[in-house]
């Protein structure tokens, strides 16, 4: 059905030419009235059919219907050549009404298709209309008035009709030049209007008395126009006539500009070349040109204003963070720079607070990113409310906020501000998902000309201080001082040196024996890394292991340690230094477990050292079970399938939930030395250790006590039936070369309980 209707649209175009041709040349004696009647009837019938099948926008079809009705009325009551003024005026009014409906309908269509710029469209059409009006006055209306000085009302209506034709022309141009695609319906509608305008022109020519055009010819364009209206409504693309869904990439602003400029220039040229013929002409010309100039001025003002507004919007959006509407990094830097500049005269010390939301990644991971966004928005709000107005709050990335106080006088002002921020987080944030508590780590940097040279510096110093606050356990404030800069530089130096440590053979392993207290035997060793830098300094693993982990260097270093440790154990067994079933414990960091090659690395180390898998223990901390547990779980499962065993290191200091203990393939708990430390003196520590041992036993896990330093501690462990221990009491970590004498010394001691001090 719709296909047939769309074909009918093209047939209509043919009919438009045939019918208007027949009308023009009065072929085969066909009555012109009959053709006119046919055209009028068909436009009504096909419009209804087209609207029913293609279902265009309600506004399009109501405007169309109104247009057709007014048009039919105008044709029926066409009294433009009548003798009475009233009949003439009524007739002119009806034609004017046709134009008005057309202008309104077109304007709505154009505005909807054009979208953003209706004010400019109005002004441009006004300029074109006024320009055209001027020409119409000079060429048609004034001469016509002189030939048969009509009554003013008729002249005015005629003029308005003709002037609005000019607006129709412009709107038509905008429709064609607008930013949306020119569909067949747009072309057909434009042609229909264009033909009707040609008809108007013929009539105007007739009335000006310059040229006599026969009625047959003057009406022919109207007939073509009526058929083209049917074609428009029948074409399926009429459905999108008033929508701006299909966009064109290139906007034809040039065509619009040319049209507007022409409408401006031509009247001026005509004004310069011709003289007014009478007083009315002079007044009309003067007023028309004045209004035209006013329209052009307004148009220019609007354009300049909207450009300025657009520019402001663009700058704003480039300098503010879309989520929180706070200034972004670039703008904050500008503010900081300005405040430093001003401080030279004002006696202030601009202060920057660098605020990082603690454990924001956890919030994002556990509650989802939209909750994360909500947290950031609420934090931004909190900061703005909590801080005095003079402070500027910005968000410079992810969960990092910056506060600038340009007017602070000294450090205590700055600390006061930081406290306000910490305090503002005491109440939970009310999110859609429920209440969430957050805390923040804050770094404070106060501008000091000696150490801060730029805004960037001040921000970086606050950032450095913030990291110090994080290291100090989060939810606190750290104030920047020079020594931090040294630390940062030192850390940078360590990082760089660590990259080369492996190939420069600066890393080595030491081993700490693990004994069975009851048997008095060395049953295994723990490998611990040592780094002797080329300048002779020894960096403690507590310092370099976290850096290695952060930078990812732990992956190659850890692989080296595994092979090295197992090779040492193989050597000692072969040399008879230790039992054949002695084990090697190697510390493994989370980063290594997330490395997809880790299982292969372990297998290769076992193969190359010719050690059975069940003589290797991997020591992991509880943290492994918290961040990305799935991947770690998968790695550990695959390793435990081949016989490698897993120990939880520093047990009791992390956050592991007991359910993790069940899910993970774990075979040993190593009780952290902080508990062992207080074992002999503190009853609470004692019952805690007792509980851990009982739990391990019931889960079928092995237990090792770490950091045993005194005989009393060893005793207490014996009482609690914990048989495996390591610590300085037994042996410090020693180099592989001295392991033979260390183990021999331990073997000599024999059973440890015999050391029980005599009462």
CA distances from 209 to 102, 148, 567, 632 (A): 27, 9, 115, 96
Q: How many CB atoms lie within 10 A of CB 344?
A: 9
Nearer to ligand C2E, 485 or 547 (CB): 547
100: partner contacted, choices Mg ion, ligand C2E, none (Cβ within 5-8 A by kind): none
Nearest CB to ligand C2E, comparing residues 282 and 491: 491
State how far the alpha carbon of 636 is from the alpha carbons of 552, 558, 596, 597, in Å.
19, 16, 12, 12
In the list Mg ion, ligand C2E, none, the entry touching 541 (Cβ below 5 to 8 angstroms by class) is ligand C2E
Q: What, of Mg ion, ligand C2E, none, does residue 561 touch, CB below 5 to 8 Å by kind? A: ligand C2E
- What is the closest distance, in whole angstroms, from the C-beta atom of residue 405 to ligand C2E in the complex? 41
Please check whether residue 507 is in contact with residue 531, taking contact to mean a CB–CB distance below 8 angstroms.
yes
The tokens for 234 are 């029948």
Q: Which residues contact 517 (CB under 8 A, 6 or more apart)?
A: 714, 717, 718, 722, 723, 724, 725, 751, 752, 753
CB of residue 708 to ligand C2E, shortest distance in Å: 6
Nearer to ligand C2E, 397 or 628 (CB): 628
| Cα dihedral across residues 113, 118, 121, 122: positive or negative | positive
Site residues for ligand C2E per CB under 6 A = 512, 528-529, 540-542, 545, 558, 561, 587-589, 619, 649-650, 673, 707-709, 727-728, 733
DSSP state of 397: E
**What is the distance between the alpha carbons of residues 365 and 359, in angstroms, rounded to a whole number?**
10
In contact, 593 and 635? CB cutoff 8 Å: yes
Q: Which two tokens stand for residue 716?
A: 């207490």
- CB nearer to ligand C2E: give 52 or 499: 499
Cβ proximity to ligand C2E, 137 vs 544, nearer residue: 544
Q: Nearest-CA neighbor of 309 among 111, 114, 119? A: 119
Cβ pair 617, 586 in contact under 8 A: yes
Q: Look at residue 489 and give its three-state secondary structure.
A: helix
Q: Are 444 and 465 in contact (CB under 8 A)?
A: yes
Nearer to Mg ion, 399 or 650 (CB): 650
Least CB distance from residue 678 to ligand C2E, whole Å? 13
- CB closer to ligand C2E, 25 vs 728: 728
Of 179 and 649, the one with the shorter C-beta distance to ligand C2E is 649
Cα–Cα distances in angstroms (integers) from residue 346 to residues 245, 330, 350, in the given order: 56, 24, 10
Q: Give which of ligand C2E, Mg ion, none residue 350 binds (C-beta under 5 to 8 Å, depending on kind).
A: none
Nearest approach in angstroms of CB 495 to ligand C2E is: 17
Shortest Å distance, C-beta 654 to Mg ion = 11
State in angstroms the smallest separation of the CB of 401 from ligand C2E. Answer: 33
Closest approach, Cβ 672 to Mg ion, in A, equals 6
Residue 23, C-beta contacts closer than 8 angstroms, at least 6 positions apart: 32, 35, 36, 216, 219, 220, 223
- Of 27 and 728, nearer to ligand C2E (C-beta) is 728
Residues forming the site for Mg ion (CB under 5 A): 587, 619, 649-650, 706
Would you tell me the crossing angle of helices 541-551 and 482-501 to the nearest 10 degrees? 70
Distance CA(131)–CA(291), nearest Å, equals 10
Q: Least separation, in Å, of the C-beta of 545 and Mg ion?
A: 11
Q: How many CB atoms lie within 10 A of CB 506?
A: 16
Nearer to Mg ion, 126 or 648 (CB): 648
Give the up-direction half-sphere exposure of residue 179: CA atoms within 13 A in the CB hemisphere.
14
Q: How far is the CB of 693 from ligand C2E (least distance, A)?
A: 18
Give least dist CB 608 to ligand C2E, A.
18
In angstroms, give the least distance from the CB of 632 to Mg ion. 16
Q: Which is nearer to Mg ion, 100 or 548 (CB)?
A: 548
Q: What number of H helices and E strands is found in the chain?
A: 27, 16
Cβ atoms of 103 and 174 closer than 8 Å: no
171 vs 586, beta carbon nearer Mg ion: 586
Tokens of 469: 């606050």
Residue-wise over 707-726: b if at least 16 C-beta within 10 A, else e? bbebeebbbbbbebebbbbb
- The answer to whether the beta carbons of residues 468 and 484 sit under 8 Å apart is yes
**733 contacts which partner out of ligand C2E, Mg ion, none, CB within 5 to 8 A by kind?**
ligand C2E
CB nearer ligand C2E, residue 242 or residue 708 = 708
Q: What are phi and psi of 455, to 5 degrees?
A: -60, -40
Angle at 400 between CA 394 and CA 404, to 5 degrees: 35
Name the token pair of 575.
């040399």
- Minimum distance of ligand C2E from residue 503's CB (angstroms): 17
Contact partner, 519, from ligand C2E, Mg ion, none, Cβ < 5-8 Å per class: none
Please give the Cα distance from 107 to 101 (Å, whole number). Answer: 10
Whole-number minimum distance, CB 557 to ligand C2E, in Å? 7
What token pair was written down for 217? 């010819």
Instruction: Work out how close the CB of 587 gets to ligand C2E at its nearest, in angstroms, rounded to a whole number.
Output: 4
Q: In terms of CB distance, is 47 or 731 closer to ligand C2E?
A: 731
What is the nearest approach in angstroms of Mg ion to the Cβ of residue 653?
9
- Tokens found for residue 530: 């040592």
CB of 322 to Mg ion, least distance (A): 46
Instruction: Tell me which DSSP letter residue 180 carries.
Output: B
- Nearer CB in complex with ligand C2E: 50/513: 513
Distance of alpha carbon 523 from alpha carbon 512, whole angstroms:
11
**To the nearest whole angstrom, how small is the minimum distance from the Cβ of residue 731 to ligand C2E?**
9
Q: 256 vs 673, which CB is nearer to ligand C2E?
A: 673
Q: Which is nearer to Mg ion, 521 or 619 (CB)?
A: 619
Cβ atoms of 123 and 299 within 8 Å: the answer is yes
Return the number of other C-beta atoms located less than 10 Å from residue 482's C-beta.
11
Neighbouring C-beta atoms of residue 704, cutoff 10 Å: 27
DSSP 235: S
Binding site partner of 327, from ligand C2E, Mg ion, none, Cβ cut-off 5-8 A by kind = none
Cα–Cα distance for residue pair 382/613, rounded to 1 Å = 55
Q: Quick one: DSSP state of residue 29?
A: G
Answer yes or no: are the C-beta atoms of 522 and 724 closer than 8 Å.
Answer: no
């Amino acid at each position: 059905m719709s296909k047939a209707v769309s074909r009918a649209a093209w047939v209509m175009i043919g009919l438009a030419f045939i019918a208007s041709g027949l009308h023009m040349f009065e072929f085969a004696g066909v009555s012109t009235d009959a053709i006119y009647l046919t055209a009028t009837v068909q436009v009504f019938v096909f419009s209804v059919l087209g609207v029913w099948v293609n279902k265009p926008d309600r506004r399009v079809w109501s405007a169309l219907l109104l247009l057709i009705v007014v048009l039919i009325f105008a044709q029926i009551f066409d009294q433009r050549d009548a003798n009475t003024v009233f009949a003439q005026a009524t007739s002119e009014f009806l034609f004017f009404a046709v134009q008005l409906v057309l202008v309104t309908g077109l304007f709505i269509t154009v505005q909807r298709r054009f979208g953003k710029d209706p004010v400019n469209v109005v002004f441009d059409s006004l300029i074109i209309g006024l320009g055209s009006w001027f020409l119409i006055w000079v060429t048609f209306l004034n001469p016509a008035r002189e030939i048969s000085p009509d009554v003013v009302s008729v002249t005015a209506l005629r003029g308005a009709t003709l002037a609005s034709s000019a607006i129709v022309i412009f709107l038509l141009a905008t429709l064609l030049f607008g930013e949306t695609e020119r569909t067949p319906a747009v072309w057909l509608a434009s042609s229909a209007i264009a033909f009707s305008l040609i008809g108007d022109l013929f009539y105007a020519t007739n009335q000006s008395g310059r040229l006599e055009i026969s009625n047959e010819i003057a009406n022919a364009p109207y007939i073509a126009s009526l058929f083209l209206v049917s074609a428009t409504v029948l074409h399926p693309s009429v459905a999108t006539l008033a929508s701006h869904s299909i966009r064109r990439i290139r906007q034809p602003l040039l065509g619009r500009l040319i049209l507007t400029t022409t409408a401006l220039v031509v009247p001026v040229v005509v004004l310069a070349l011709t003289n007014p013929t009478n007083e009315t002409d002079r007044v009309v010309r003067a007023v028309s040109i004045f209004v035209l100039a006013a329209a052009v001025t307004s148009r220019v003002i609007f354009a300049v204003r909207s450009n300025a507004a657009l520019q402001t919007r663009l700058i704003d959006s480039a300098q503010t963070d879309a989520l929180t509407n706070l200034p972004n990094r670039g703008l904050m830097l500008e503010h900081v720079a300005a405040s430093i500049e001003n401080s030279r005269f004002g006696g202030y010390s601009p202060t920057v607070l660098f605020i990082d939301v603690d454990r924001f990644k956890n919030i994002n991971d556990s509650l989802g990113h939209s909750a994360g966004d909500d947290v950031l928005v609420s934090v931004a709000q909190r900061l703005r409310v909590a801080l005095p107005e003079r402070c500027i709050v910005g968000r410079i990335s992810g969960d990092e906020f910056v506060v600038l106080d340009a007017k602070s006088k000294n450090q205590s002002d700055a600390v006061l501000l930081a406290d306000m921020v910490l305090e503002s987080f005491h109440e939970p944030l009310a999110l859609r998902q429920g209440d969430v508590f957050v805390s923040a780590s804050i770094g404070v940097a106060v501008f000091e000309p000696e150490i801060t040279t730029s805004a960037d510096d001040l921000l970086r110093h606050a950032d450095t201080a913030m990291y110090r606050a994080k290291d100090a356990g989060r939810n606190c404030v750290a104030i920047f001082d020079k020594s931090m800069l040294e630390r940062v530089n030192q850390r940078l130096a360590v990082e760089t040196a660590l990259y080369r440590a492996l190939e420069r053979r600066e890393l080595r392993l030491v081993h700490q024996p693990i004994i069975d207290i009851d048997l008095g035997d060395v049953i295994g060793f723990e490998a611990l890394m040592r780094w002797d830098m080329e300048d002779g300094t020894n960096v403690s693993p507590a310092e370099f292991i976290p850096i290695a982990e952060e930078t990812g260097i732990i992956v190659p270093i850890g692989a080296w340690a595994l092979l090295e440790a197992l090779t040492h154990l193989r050597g000692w067994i072969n040399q008879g230094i230790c039992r054949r079933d002695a084990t090697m414990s190697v510390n493994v960091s989370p980063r290594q477990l997330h490395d997809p090659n880790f299982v292969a690395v372990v297998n290769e180390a076992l193969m190359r050292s010719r050690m059975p898998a069940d003589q290797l223990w991997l020591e992991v901390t509880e943290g492994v079970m918290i961040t990305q547990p799935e991947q770690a779980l998968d790695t550990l499962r695959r390793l435990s399938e081949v016989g490698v065993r897993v120990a939880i290191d520093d047990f009791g200091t992390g956050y592991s939930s007991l359910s993790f203990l069940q899910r993970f393939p774990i075979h040993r708990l190593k009780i952290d030395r902080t508990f062992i430390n207080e074992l002999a003196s503190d009853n609470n520590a004692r019952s805690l250790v007792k509980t851990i041992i009982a739990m391990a036993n019931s889960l079928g896990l092995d237990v090792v006590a770490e950091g045993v330093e005194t005989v009393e501690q060893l005793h207490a462990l014996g009482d609690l039936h914990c048989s495996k221990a390591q610590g300085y009491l037994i042996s410090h970590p020693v180099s592989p070369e001295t392991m033979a004498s260390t183990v021999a010394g331990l073997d000599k001691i024999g059973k440890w309980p015999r050391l029980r001090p005599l009462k």
